[in-house]
Amino acid sequence: MSAATILVADDDAAIRTVLNQALSRAGYEVRITSNAATLWRWVQAGEGDMVITDVVMPDENAFDLLPRIKRLRPDLPVLVMSAQNTFMTAIRASEKGAYDYLPKPFDLTELIAIVGRALSEPKRKPSRPEDDGQDGMPLVGRSAAMQEIYRVLARLMQTDLTLMITGESGTGKELVARALHDYGKRRNGPFVAINMAAIPRDLIESELFGHEKGAFTGAQARSTGRFEQAEGGTLFLDEIGDMPMDAQTRLLRVLQQGEYTTVGGRTPIRTDVRIVAATNKDLKQAINQGLFREDLYYRLNVVPLRLPPLRERSEDITDLVRHFVQQTEKEGMAPKRFDNEALDVMKSYPWPGNVRELENFVRRLTALYPQDVITREIASSELKPDIASSPAEKADQRSGSVSISHAVEENMRSYFAEFGDSLPPPGLYDRVLAEMEYPLILAALTATRGNQIKAADLLGLNRNTLRKKIRELGVTVYRSARMA
């Protein structure tokens, strides 16, 4: 059997040489060119078993050439290399029908492995037609760690594989789940998210699977569950580690058999939903403690994706800050710039609340400081040293405040103490959150002297949302004579 022939196009002579040597050494025939026109001629002539191409070439961009190649020879695998290592490059490569995408600089061993795989795989189905007008960048950051994530996502877009995203709080787990949905083959279906930690435990099963009329006290009518709502789309199960055992058993059945029954129902319902789960806990530990089913863990963990904490990719901070500043500008705030020294200070801070903390930080400074340029002095005075030790203190840093969670923790301790050995009625989580809203909004309005625009910025709320809440909750600010 004759050796497979690889067509290589790159305008960088050094890369051509390196690829030529490595591929020849691996036993392939190689043809190399510096431009897209020659590559296209070869492809038209039916030459080559695989293409490796750079994106930017002097005469044509590979993303413009790729659809033509795929139309003419849908089975010819094309590996795209690029030095513009953004999420959109990875996605575009996948959308245009590339077999895989490799950010530069790359590892030759990995390249050879991809070539081997591409040539040995059964011929693939043609990819979906290109989709234009997607210039929004949902995921920001070009660090090596994020590029690896983009590559995995680009590969997963066209599949229905179950995915488990792990990572500390605020690393972007939900955002990744959404990006996977929005750019994947289910993007015309619904994206439904449910957070296990935010729903009273005894209601989770009914929330997920729906219930029949009379299934339990208070079930006055049939109700649809999130599975039904997510039909044809993606269901994002956040904080999966907080899922109660009974619900875990039902979920396992869905993953094994593709069907479920509602609470109180008998007839199995078939379901077509892609599951993406996320957790910031160590599920292995939960398994050891008997709190999480091991068989479910393996079913969910088909593709594990770990989002690294921001402190492990501080080179992303510049891009992220620019992104968040642009967002605040779109929302009507005055344009701001963080100077290089401010960015340096921020790069050496550990960000225990990750991207969420950074986003809040940028929003807070943009709202609070009238200066056009945020300097090192401002940034350092607003960043506290990382002395966090307790989760409560970490949460304080996350919210960027001095001791909010500490105060809540203290108050809840004394609240529980009042009940002695008995426990307060269930649904506490939602009640506490609801009760916090009024004093929080009142305090923000008082601090901003009733200025709703400033209060909304301070709280990180949309102005219309704040106005609606003020109306609903009947918050009234009594201005003192001094304030008026």
Ligand X SMILES: Nc1ncnc2c1ncn2[C@@H]1O[C@H](COP(=O)(O)OP(=O)(O)OP(=O)(O)O)[C@@H](O)[C@H]1O
Alpha carbon 230 to its chain centroid, in Å, reads 18
By CB under 6 A, is residue 148 in contact with ligand X? no
**Rg of the chain over CA atoms, in angstroms?**
27
Both tokens assigned to 114: 């991809």
By CB under 6 A, is residue 18 in contact with ligand X? no
Cβ-based nearer residue to ligand X, 77 or 103: 103
Both tokens assigned to 360: 């809040």
Whole-angstrom distance, CA of residue 387 vs CA of residue 297 = 34
Report in angstroms how near the CB of residue 355 gets to ligand X at its nearest.
Answer: 3
By CB under 6 A, is residue 139 in contact with ligand X? yes
Residues 6+ apart with CB under 8 A from 437: 469, 473
Residue with CB nearest ligand X? 172
Binding residue for ligand X (CB under 6 A) from 31, 356, 364, 384? 356
Binding residue for ligand X (CB under 6 A) from 48, 97, 103, 170? 170
Binding residue for ligand X (CB under 6 A) from 85, 166, 280, 397? 280
By CB under 6 A, is residue 179 in contact with ligand X? no
Report in angstroms how near the CB of residue 367 gets to ligand X at its nearest.
Answer: 16
Binding residue for ligand X (CB under 6 A) from 97, 103, 141, 352? 141
By CB under 6 A, is residue 445 in contact with ligand X? no
Report in angstroms how near the CB of residue 174 gets to ligand X at its nearest.
Answer: 4
Residue type, 462: N
Size of the site for ligand X (CB under 6 A): 17
Strands of 303-306's sheet, edge to edge?
191-195, 234-238, 274-279, 163-166, 303-306
Whether 146 contacts 313, CB under 8 Å:
yes
Binding residue for ligand X (CB under 6 A) from 48, 77, 97, 172? 172
Report in angstroms how near the CB of residue 193 gets to ligand X at its nearest.
Answer: 9
By CB under 6 A, is residue 252 in contact with ligand X? no
Cβ-based nearer residue to ligand X, 139 or 240: 139
Binding residue for ligand X (CB under 6 A) from 70, 96, 142, 173? 173
Whole-angstrom distance, CA of residue 353 vs CA of residue 297 = 26
> Which x/- pattern, by CB under 6 A, does the window 308-337 give for ligand X?
---------------x--------------
Report in angstroms how near the CB of residue 214 gets to ligand X at its nearest.
Answer: 35
By CB under 6 A, is residue 151 in contact with ligand X? no
Binding residue for ligand X (CB under 6 A) from 20, 35, 38, 169? 169
Local structure of 420: helix, strand or coil = coil
With both helix axes pointing from N to C terminus, report the angle between 87-95 and 144-156 in degrees, rounded to the nearest 10: 20
Local structure of 195: helix, strand or coil = strand
Whole-angstrom distance, CA of residue 356 vs CA of residue 307 = 13
> Which x/- pattern, by CB under 6 A, does the window 186-225 give for ligand X?
----------------------------------------
Closest CA to 325 of 337, 339, 340: 337
Residues, the chain, total? 484
Cβ-based nearer residue to ligand X, 139 or 208: 139
Local structure of 101: helix, strand or coil = strand
Whether 236 contacts 182, CB under 8 Å:
no
What are the backbone dihedrals phi and psi of residue 82, each rounded to the nearest 5 degrees, phi first?
-150, 150
Report in angstroms how near the CB of residue 452 gets to ligand X at its nearest.
Answer: 22
By CB under 6 A, is residue 171 in contact with ligand X? yes
By CB under 6 A, is residue 167 in contact with ligand X? yes
Binding residue for ligand X (CB under 6 A) from 69, 76, 140, 470? 140
Report in angstroms how near the CB of residue 209 gets to ligand X at its nearest.
Answer: 23
By CB under 6 A, is residue 48 in contact with ligand X? no
By CB under 6 A, is residue 237 in contact with ligand X? no
Question: What is the CB neighbour count within 10 angstroms for residue 385?
Answer: 9
Whole-angstrom distance, CA of residue 434 vs CA of residue 473 = 10
Angle value at C-alpha 422, between 418 and 424, nearest 5 degrees: 65
Q: What is the maximum span of the chain, computed from C-alpha positions, in angstroms?
A: 93
Strands (E) located in 189-291: 191-195, 234-238, 259-260, 269-270, 274-279
Whether 93 contacts 154, CB under 8 Å:
yes
Binding residue for ligand X (CB under 6 A) from 11, 160, 174, 382? 174
Q: Which residues, numbered 58-87, are part of the site for ligand X (CB under 6 A)?
A: none
Give the footprint of ligand X on this chain (CB under 6 A).
Answer: 139-141, 167, 169-175, 238, 280, 323, 355-356, 359
